[in-house]
Structure 1
Amino acid sequence: MRGILAAFGVATAFVLAPAAASAQEDVYDPFEGFNRDMFAVHEAIDKAVLEPVARGYRAITPQPVRTGVRSFLQNLRGPVVFANDVLQGEFSRAGTTAARFGINSTIGIGGVFDPAATMGLERHDEDFGQTLGRWGVPSGPYLFIPLLGPTTVRDGAGVGVDLALDPINYAEFEGDDAFRVTRSVLGGISARENVLDTIEDIRQDSLDPYVTIRTSYGLWRYSAIQNGRHDVQDLPEFEAIPEDPVMQQEPGPEGEATSSNQPPEETAAPSQDATDSNSGETK
């Protein structure tokens, strides 16, 4: 069930990647052969099971209800986002997260509605992989895991910490196990439905969907770690992302090209001044 729940991350990568950063980490993919095999397995499962279920969910569920479900599930992540805000030293953002969680959990009926946004408290997301990246931990090799989707060694390890930070995973209440299973399944279906059109476009328009998704994931994670700071601008649309890995090479310090199969230069840990001066920004 954890793999289904992790589809949230895949959905976020597919949806937000076209609006992240122009500067990026090169994606280090030394296991490309293995990853492509896993991508093929994922595609087979998706076409046979996940996509048909997601299309059925879209067909029988009105748009306002689907939006409410996504908002409810996002609200449940409030404690995890808050913890990672604090771990990053982003205390202003942590305050926003806490206020959003309190307002939406009460006035917003458990997060089904988002009155906090109308009050100027915009939603942002954080995970422990981003926290590690903010403090300079290298991403490590890129991995594609069936059902989980695109990730890296750093981000994959961060998932385990986020599980521990989520109080729902160990809270005891009546029907707790059933609630956790329902959240995982509904989260996976909702996430897949939300990217039906995006994934269809990638399959139809991309010469190499594997490269498109890998590049998009790297762009999105760079922007997520930067929290919208520095030289973060609009990303290219999916059709503008280079399909040929050779086109993704960038000049090295001495004019030599750097390949996606070489370890990237990671974003340095933020200075205290940078953290303090930007702590009030949201993505």
Structure 2
Amino acid sequence: MKMKLSSCFHGCTASVSLPGFVICFIILPIPNLEPAQYTVIGPGHPVTAVVGEDIVLPCHLSPPMNAENMEVRWFRSHFSSVVHLYRKEKDQTEFQMSEYLGRTEFLKDGIRNGSVALRLRNVRPSDEGKYMCSFPSISFFQDALLELKVAVIGAAPLISVEGYQDGGIRVMCRSAGWYPEPEVFWRDLSGQCLPSLSETKLQGHNGLFEMRTSIIITETSNQNIFCYIRSTLLRQEKESAISIAGQLLSKLQCDHQHTHTCNWLKVRICLWQ
């Protein structure tokens, strides 16, 4: 006696003869194996660091999950511009950009809860900019953008008398060690802003700014003036002041060809910070 073997494929059947019974195969569709869905979360606002200090760049997974076996890459503008790479449960320092060697620490205390923050040591002006915290894999890629701003407060302004000019005294204000470029301005005793004669900025190899500004003090002007230098990012400022007795300005006797021969002892000048 001959029986049929039937195979069912989405409504199609095929049969073979077998003695004694009929077998029907049913093949069900296999669902797509998608990777675990998660989101990489950054701080959502710029992070500000002070030059010379350390800063932690936060990044975590949502929902929280163990990231010990994941690859975590911190990089700058390009995927290959590696700030720090964590892979196969180890820090892969051989892939780092040279300027970050020895300056980064991948914080693993919270990695089982999806926290993959990065500590950056001895912050420099060149560290300012955008960073990406990414989780690359063969089938899934997620990242978060973080913006790092860098700042530092420089030295208190130093005021000096430079010489005689245009019927008055030219006064110079200097201050170095600022980042980013600060605002510089003069004010009188009443708080009124005064126009400067000149303003110069110099940026050193370390990226820090030195600011220089000058003003002319005449007999008719307010002889109590203040030099302010302000960090717009840190919202802090430093100031110095100079006071010159107005009645003595008219007594200056200067040789325009040899201003160093002026008898500056006739001018009573007070400086304070």
Normalised to the residue count of structure 2, the TM-score between the two structures is: 0.22
Which structure ranks higher in relative contact order (CA pairs < 8 Å, sequence separation ≥ 6)? 1
More helix by share: 1
More strand by share: 2
Higher CA-based Rg: 2
Normalised to the residue count of structure 1, the TM-score between the two structures is: 0.21
